[in-house]
Amino acid sequence: MTIERAAEPFLLIRNLIKEFDGVRAVNDVSVAINKGEIFALLGSSGCGKSTLLRMLAGFETPTHGTITLGGKDIVGVPPYQRPINMMFQSYALFPHLSVWDNIAFGLRRDGLPKDEIAARVEQMLSLVQLGAYGKRKPHQLSGGQQQRVALARSLAKRPQLLLLDEPLGALDKKLRERTQMELVGIIEEVGVTCVMVTHDQDEAMSMATRIAVMSEGRILQFGAPGEIYETPNCRFVADFIGSVNLFNGSVSVDEPDHVIIDTPEGRHYVTHGITGTMGMPVSVAVRPEKIALQAEAPTLEQRAVAGEHGYNCVQGVVAGIAYFGNETSYHVQLDGGMVLKATRTNAARHDDSALKRDQRVFAWWDGADVVVLTR
């Protein structure tokens, strides 16, 4: 029996570079992924996330760098010999084979005995709740069913690593929400380590245990979904994940327990220290749901939370309202010039304090709820 050393990550990518005609699609990426993790590579199209996934699958050869899986170097191993299976974007189910044969395809290549193949295929079909659909051809299934066949096919060989390429991209919104949960449930039930690629932040946040945000071939930030959302480390990540208000300004007071940042829209009192210097240009990031929006000026208690001397409080005029049912999103034209995004949860059915267009409003927030970005 071997004792697993927790210090050793299961999948280790080191200094990976991929160049296409001199252009770096993946630029010096290093990632360590633990066993059983669902790891999401998140980025917009062309950020290099798909190229990275294709290198893991073996369809692309790295220009430089190493990939080790379970301690073994897999660069140079052809895709058909890797213990890695992939669920393709829009699934790539073989159109001429039935659902059953699609799932059995990989098992047959391994030369497993017939009865074992049958047992495994049946097991996979019941895992994705498609027991009665074995004889159908892929085009006779709905999008959601095809997605489950693709998942069953990629899990049938019991891979050490499962790759998901935009796993829910081809599904409509309602189905996507339901499938996200199912997919995570199945992956956790099987216990396979999983790397997924997506441009959809909701998909990444809701499914992954850890996310890497990619841009222009580089990884900008690693972290659990909550970390990435609440403590983004740069403007790109703050802006890419969710919605954010960025106040650009400079540091005017720098104390260990608080900083004050001056911006054209007002002064920001931040209740935590930052690693920066006086006068340094920074951005204060405030999420729309952290902002309180009201018609009357903040009360004394509210000002105690926001900060003294009218810190963390701005004024403006409601310029746009978008009602989503569960919440309402407001665009407020601030006196300082920028447009502030703020949301209010519609907790009660009838809200007497509902704000109207062109109404003058106050917006304030807790100095602990903001993030100061230095890059």
Partner 1 sequence: MNFLKNLLTLRWITGRRVVIAVPFLWLTFAFLVPFLIVLRISFTEADNGGNPFGTLMTLVDGVVTLKVKIANYLFIAEDELYALTYLNSLKFAAITAALCLVIGYPFAYFMARAKPTVRPVLLMLVMMPFWTSFLLRIYAWKGILANHGILNNFLISIGAIGEPLHLMNTQFSLIVGMVYAYLPFMILPLYANLVKMDVRFLEAAADLGATPLQAFWRITVPLSKSGIIAGTMLVFIPAVGEYVIPELLGGPETLMIGRQLWDEFFTNNDWPLASSVTVVVILLILVPMAIFNKYKADQEARS
Residue number with CB closer to partner 1 (52 or 361): 52
Task: Pick the piece of the chain touching partner 1 (CB under 8 A) from 37-45, 67-75, 93-101, 188-196.
Answer: 93-101
Q: Whole-number minimum distance, CB 271 to partner 1, in Å?
A: 51
- Whether 352 and 293 have beta carbons less than 8 Å apart is answered as no
Q: Using the rule CB under 8 A, is 77 a contact of partner 1?
A: no
Place of tokens 């709820």: 369
Residues from 197 through 216 that contact partner 1 (CB under 8 A): none
Q: Using the rule CB under 8 A, is 323 a contact of partner 1?
A: no
Task: Pick the piece of the chain touching partner 1 (CB under 8 A) from 25-33, 77-85, 205-213, 247-255.
Answer: 77-85
- Tell me which of 13, 38, 86, 284 binds partner 1, using CB under 8 A: 86
Task: Pick the piece of the chain touching partner 1 (CB under 8 A) from 79-87, 317-325, 329-337, 353-361.
Answer: 79-87
> How far is Cα 317 from Cα 8, in angstroms, rounded to an integer?
55
Please report which helix (H) or strand (E) contains residue 52, including its range: helix 49-57
* Phi, psi for 53 (deg, rounded to 5): -65, -40
Length of the chain: 375
Q: 88-105 b/e with 16+ CB inside 10 Å = b?
A: bbebebeeeebbbbbbbb
- Tell me which of 153, 176, 210, 287 binds partner 1, using CB under 8 A: 153
Q: Using the rule CB under 8 A, is 345 a contact of partner 1?
A: no
Residues from 42 through 61 that contact partner 1 (CB under 8 A): 57-59
Which residues share a beta bridge with 31? 13
Q: If binding means CB under 8 A, how many residues of this protein chain bind partner 1?
A: 25
Residue number with CB closer to partner 1 (58 or 249): 58
Q: Which amino acid does the sequence have at 114?
A: K
Residue number with CB closer to partner 1 (96 or 350): 96
- Whether 355 and 321 have beta carbons less than 8 Å apart is answered as yes
Task: Pick the piece of the chain touching partner 1 (CB under 8 A) from 45-53, 76-84, 203-211, 278-286.
Answer: 76-84
> How far is Cα 96 from Cα 299, in angstroms, rounded to an integer?
69
Q: Using the rule CB under 8 A, is 161 a contact of partner 1?
A: no
Task: Pick the piece of the chain touching partner 1 (CB under 8 A) from 89-97, 225-233, 243-251, 331-339.
Answer: 89-97
C-alpha distances out from residue 259 to 252, 265, 273, 283, Å: 8, 17, 6, 13
Contact pattern from residue 105 through residue 134 relative to partner 1, giving x for each residue in contact according to CB under 8 A and a dash for the rest: xx--xx------------------------
Residue number with CB closer to partner 1 (95 or 325): 95
Residue number with CB closer to partner 1 (95 or 337): 95
Residues from 261 through 280 that contact partner 1 (CB under 8 A): none
- Whether 283 and 372 have beta carbons less than 8 Å apart is answered as yes
3-state secondary structure of 153: helix
> How far is Cα 117 from Cα 127, in angstroms, rounded to an integer?
15
> How far is Cα 15 from Cα 21, in angstroms, rounded to an integer?
19
- Whether 77 and 161 have beta carbons less than 8 Å apart is answered as no
Contact residues for partner 1 (CB under 8 A)?
57-59, 78-81, 84-86, 88, 92-96, 105-106, 109-110, 137, 139, 153-154, 157
